[in-house]
Amino acid sequence: MKEPTKIGFAKGFKRTPQRLAILAYLEGNTSHPSAEEIFHAVVGKDRTLSFATVYNTLNTLSKAGALRELTIDPSRKRYDPNTGAHHHLICMSCKKVVDVPEEISIDLPKTVAQNFFILGNHVEFYGVCPACRKMQKNV
Amino acid sequence: MKEPTKIGFAKGFKRTPQRLAILAYLEGNTSHPSAEEIFHAVVGKDRTLSFATVYNTLNTLSKAGALRELTIDPSRKRYDPNTGAHHHLICMSCKKVVDVPEEISIDLPKTVAQNFFILGNHVEFYGVCPACRKMQKNV
DNA sequence: CTCTTAATTTATACTGATTCTAAATTAAGA
DNA sequence: TCTTAATTTAGAATCAGTATAAATTAAGAG
């Protein structure tokens, strides 16, 4: 009598080949892919996959809390299967996004918090990745 | 021989009524408006304003560093005339965005920073604003 | 003040991301 | 094996934002 460990396997969710392929691609993925990137990667495994299914699945997983929608890129959503508290390092040059696995606790003085009940935070660090640093030096 | 204090007034930039109206609306504005909100607010003052001009002006101001484009809202860009280092408090219920005027310095251990050259950070605090807290209690 | 010109505005067409719709398919469980 | 609700699908629709090209105009020269 095992509890299902993953969304998509929970009661009321069907174990479709499309979902399994998307989940397999996402599992442990740290590249913060967009819907389009997910579609292209997964359609290679499951030829029948449609774009609409990618969106459906991503929305279902997000609502179920099994996936985090990142609002980091001004032009599209990116998806992160790591739902634990962590942060991101963004290369301002090539736009690569890298995980910062630490939790960061920041205390805001009450005056600053303006009576908000604070539940969490997300830090985006902006910088230049090693590869881009090298490029810049060569120019 | 005054230096122009604002973008849009600098050499090579024309002082058009549309720009002046947009700048006037943005000046000191802490509501983090979207392009659409800006258009609606400003078209009331200057009937001739077009949507395209709003985008043109916002892009010009952003490139010139007089305006910050916020990537906070998954569905559209928001604009912040406060270009100094600060952070944001986001109500998860009503989506209101409030400024956190403090600078926050976070040191990342080298191992975590993965050799990125870090230039800055932006913290999003997620919480529930006072108004929404009251609502929730009443439900 | 008038002229010239490059910057700007505008309407409109277009793109790209995402959502919606409605019909066809299918996993799951009786 | 059957039934049914969940899912997939193609394609249309929507929405934010960008591109285009013609018309307008601010600004500086004379």
Q: pLDDT tens across B121-139, in order?
A: 999 999 999 999 988 776 5
Give the pLDDT confidence score for residue A2 in this predicted structure.
36
Minimal-distance CA residue of chain B relative to A102: B112
Report CA dihedral (A19, A25, A26, A30) to the nearest 10 degrees.
-170
Closest partner residue to B89 (CB to CB) among A72, A98, A113 is A113
pLDDT of residue A65 exceeding 50, the answer is: yes
The span from the CA of B123 to the CA of B83, in Å, is 15
Whether residue B112 and residue A101 make contact (CB cut-off 8 A), yes or no, is yes
C strand bases under 7 Å from protein CB: 7-12, 16-21, 26-29
Chain A residues with beta carbon closer than 8 angstroms to that of B98: 114, 116
Q: What is the band of B12 on the pLDDT scale with cuts at 50, 70, 90?
A: confident
A108 shares contact with chain B (CB less than 8 Å): yes
Chain B residues with beta carbon closer than 8 angstroms to that of A74: 69, 71, 77
Whether residue B108 and residue A98 make contact (CB cut-off 8 A), yes or no, is no
Measured from the Cβ of residue A24, the count of other Cβ atoms closer than 10 Å reads 13
**Quick one: what percent of chain B has pLDDT higher than 90?**
74
**Quick one: what percent of chain B has pLDDT higher than 70?**
91
Answer for A9: CB within 7 Å of strand D.
no
pLDDT of residue B2 exceeding 70, the answer is: no
Q: Write the CB contacts of B121 (distance below 8 Å, at least 6 apart in sequence).
A: A123, A124, A125, A126, B104, B106
Residues B51-63 have pLDDT tens digits of: 999 999 999 999 9
Give the pLDDT confidence score for residue A138 in this predicted structure.
62
Answer for B49: CB within 7 Å of strand C.
yes
Answer for B14: CB within 7 Å of strand C.
yes
The span from the CA of A78 to the CA of A72, in Å, is 7
pLDDT of residue A114 exceeding 90, the answer is: no
pTM: 0.89
pLDDT of residue B28 exceeding 80, the answer is: yes
Sign, CA dihedral A8-A12-A14-A15, equals positive
A95 shares contact with chain B (CB less than 8 Å): no
Instruction: For chain A, give the mean pLDDT.
Output: 90
Q: What is the band of B22 on the pLDDT scale with cuts at 50, 70, 90?
A: very high
Between these two residues, A111 and B77, which has the higher pLDDT value? B77
Sign, CA dihedral A117-B87-B112-A24, equals positive
Going by their DSSP bridges, the two strands A87-91 and B97-100 should be labelled as unpaired
Residue with tokens 């998806």: A79
A129 shares contact with chain B (CB less than 8 Å): yes
Instruction: For chain B, give the mean pLDDT.
Output: 90
- Report which secondary-structure segment, H or E, holds B87: strand B87-91
The span from the CA of B89 to the CA of B92, in Å, is 9
Radius of gyration of chain B (CA): 18
Chain A residues with beta carbon closer than 8 angstroms to that of B119: 92, 126-128
